[in-house]
Structure 1
Amino acid sequence: MDQAPGSPQVGQDGPGAPTCYRHPDRETGIRCTRCERPICPECMVSASVGFQCPDCVRSGSGTGQSPTASRPRTVAGGTVTADPRLFTKILIGINLAFYLVQLSVGNSFTERFELVGQAYLPTLGSVGGVAEGQWYRLLTAMFLHGGYLHIAFNMLSLWWVGGPLEAALGRARYLALYFVTGLAGSALSYLVVAPNQPSVGASGAIFGLFGALAVLMRRLRYDMRPVIALLVINLLLAFRGGIAWQAHIGGLVAGVVAGYAMVHAPRERRNLVQYGTCALVLVAVVVMTVIRTGQLT
Structure 2
Amino acid sequence: MFTRRESFSEYIRFYPVISILLALNIGIFILTWLPGIGGLVYYGGMGSNAAIATGEWWRFFTPMFLHLGFMHILFNMFCLFVFGPELEKIIGKMRFITLYLLSGLFANVATFFIHDYDYNHVGASGAIFGLFGAYGALVYYTKHALPQLRQVILPIIAISVVMTFLQPNVNVTAHITGLIVGFIIGLSYFNPKRIVSWRKPNR
Aligned-pair CA distance for 1:265: 5.9
| Per-residue CA distance 1:38-67 (angstroms, 9 max, x = gap) | xxxxxxxxxxxxxxxxxxxxxxxxxxxxxx
Q: Which residue of 2 aligns with 1:242?
A: 169
In structure 2, the CA distance between the partners of 1:228 and 1:108, relative to structure 1 (3 Å rule), is same
Does residue 230 (structure 1) correspond to residue 152 (structure 2)? The answer is no
Contact 1:84 1:166 in 2 (8 A): no
What amino acid sits opposite 1:255 in the alignment?
Answer: G
Q: For residues 187 and 200 of structure 1, what CA distance do their matches in structure 2 show?
A: 13
Aligned-pair CA distance for 1:83: 3.9
The structure 2 residue matched to 1:258, chosen from 185, 196, 200, is 185
Q: For residues 95 and 66 of structure 2, what CA distance do their matches in structure 1 show?
A: 23
Alignment of 1:210-221 (within 5 A): 210-220=132-142, 221=145
Aligned-pair CA distance for 1:259: 0.5
Q: For residues 52 and 122 of structure 2, what CA distance do their matches in structure 1 show?
A: 14
Aligned-pair CA distance for 1:270: 5.5
Q: Which residue of 2 aligns with 1:90?
A: 20
Alignment of 1:74-89 (within 5 A): 83-89=13-19
In structure 2, the CA distance between the partners of 1:108 and 1:268, relative to structure 1 (3 Å rule), is closer
Q: For residues 90 and 261 of structure 1, what CA distance do their matches in structure 2 show?
A: 25
Root-mean-square deviation over aligned CA pairs:
2.1
| Per-residue CA distance 1:135-172 (angstroms, 9 max, x = gap) | 00010001000000000010000111111100000111
Q: For residues 115 and 150 of structure 1, what CA distance do their matches in structure 2 show?
A: 15
Contact 2:189 2:195 in 1 (8 A): no
Report % sequence identity: 29
Report which of the two has the higher share of helix: 2
Secondary structure at the aligned position of 1:208 is classed as helix
In structure 2, the CA distance between the partners of 1:268 and 1:202, relative to structure 1 (3 Å rule), is closer
TM-score, normalised with respect to structure 2: 0.83
Q: Which has the higher contact order (CA 8 A, sep 6+)?
A: 2
Aligned-pair CA distance for 1:211: 0.5
In structure 2, the CA distance between the partners of 1:106 and 1:167, relative to structure 1 (3 Å rule), is same
**Residues matched between the structures, number:** 182
Q: Which residue of 2 aligns with 1:112?
A: 44
Q: Which residue of 2 aligns with 1:188?
A: 110
| Alignment gaps of 5+ in structure 2 | 2-11, 199-203
Q: Which residue of 2 aligns with 1:155?
A: 77
